[in-house]
Chains A and B, each alone.
Chain A
Amino acid sequence: MSAGTPKSLPSSGQKSIQEICHPLSAEESILSPSPDLGNTISSTGEKDLSLPNGNAVDTSSPASSSSLLNRLQLDDDLDGETRDLFVTVDDPKKHVSTMETYITYRVSTKTTRTEFDLPEYSVRRRYQDFDWLRSKLEDSQPTHLIPPLPEKFVMKGVVDRFSEEFVETRRKALDKFLKRVADHPVLSFNEHFNVFLSAKDLNKRQGLALLSKMGESVKYVTGGYKLRARPIEFAAMGEYLDIFTQKLGTIDRIAQRIIKEQSEYLVELREYSPVYSSWASSEEELQEPLDGVAACMANCCSGLEELTEEMSEDFLPVLREYILYVESMKNVLKKRDQVQAEYETKLEAVAFREDRKTPVPTDVEKCQDRVECFNADLKADWDRWQNNKRQDFRQLLTGMADKNIQYYEKCLAAWESLIPLLQDKQEARADTN
């Protein structure tokens, strides 16, 4: 991805709505820190500032500190040399116990961050551990977009949970999930993420965490407030997500349909080889050419089979993952609406009191904080998400084109190698005549 010209980041804090850039124009913005850095930190945000490499983001404080982190760390992500956390998921293994059978994956970490005790870790985790991590992230970082996990439930008779293809597809998705978290300037510092990567035995932690889970989620549960209107930029995000998810769904259906048609085409194509072979056995002069055609057909069939498999295993899961991503993003938008609604409602209630002498209650101030921080985090994440989405889809669609090209090249090679076989004999015959 080219660097392009640096643009100012969509800022948080006191900027008016008009000054805030349209989310869709914010692609190239994750570059140099905004020159307005010093000015745009609002006065309300100041007291919550913490240094970038200092304390990790605490679940107890709202995420305003994260916006600073965002801006200072965003450019690190592009420069591979300054990245200080690398995570990989690989080596799936089956575990059989009396109670159940399940798969674990090796999660390897390399890091120079001081938040970690060791520079390297290698732990084994199963899907439910990832699921735990995601829930914790969602609860502790409600203002951020948390990457999705591959689907949890699979119908037991329809899909073989232990087949190589299924496990590999899942592994790739889990790997992607952790990498996205590791690349995120805020999420990667989350203590649950740290625990996930480093703890030998996650179960104990899960037990403890279960208790605190209750406490955390209380913070952002703001139920029942009605939002009058979503600000334009977030409304635009919502609209975009609605249409985008629709288009993704369509593409998913088309891809599935193509796979189905190709499979049926393959079934019929397979019929060719045996017929040509059978014909060859009753011929003399034509035997070699016909056997050649039969072999050719068989090659094309295996190429087609590969193509269909790859589309199924590589293309569709990524597509579906984005659909899940969009769903979780919509939820975040809703949460944001809730926070704003709460603020507006409380503000109105105060305004009605008409008691100008009393200062604005801290309760309302805190709400305002929350709104502003949420908006800032969301916008920053949105930009990052848009960028990643563009890269991901470029890669995905280019990959799809590549697979099709490979298929046709394989068939081309097969048919081209047949021509000399057919023509040689023709020429040889011409000589003897």
Chain B
Amino acid sequence: MGSSASQLSKELLSEYQELTFLTKQEILLAHCRFKELLPKESRNTMDYRVPMEKILTMPELKSNPFRQRICYVFSTSEAKDGSLSFEDFLDFLSVFSDSATPEIKSHYAFRIFDFDDDGTLDRNDLVKLVNCLTGDAPETRLSQEEMNQLIGNILEESDIDKDGTVNLSEFQHVISRSPDFVSSFKIVL
């Protein structure tokens, strides 16, 4: 699985192309950018896991309010510390690429917004989501009543089986109503 060469071999490249939604150029570009994040001594091994702090220095993620959630969701490390290997990195780029299907994108969007990783979006997840969207500045933060009203409206609109949480199917149903989701849920290197 891991190769010790610093260049991607042809079979590995075509295998990645089959397994992800990325084109050859995108995979090669991802490889270059990933190598830049590696420390000098481990440049030749591809099994290295880049810690989350280094990933968050990338310009595409630096100012994104969901950057930590993205690292946690795509990381496959046992320590759950948000570190990404090269394949996790490709996974992340594949989901956020041009050719990923809306189902994949909405599935991962749900996982990113699920702050407590319990498989549903309950009130606390929604509160954290709205705070991420509006930022920390005091003039943009929503007041307590506005927040309650907003969460109540969201649950009323999207919670179809009225259990107080938004599950994956309800989330995907809301997403399917917005034609702009696919074009805004994109990150390009």
- Asked whether A and B interact, the reply is no
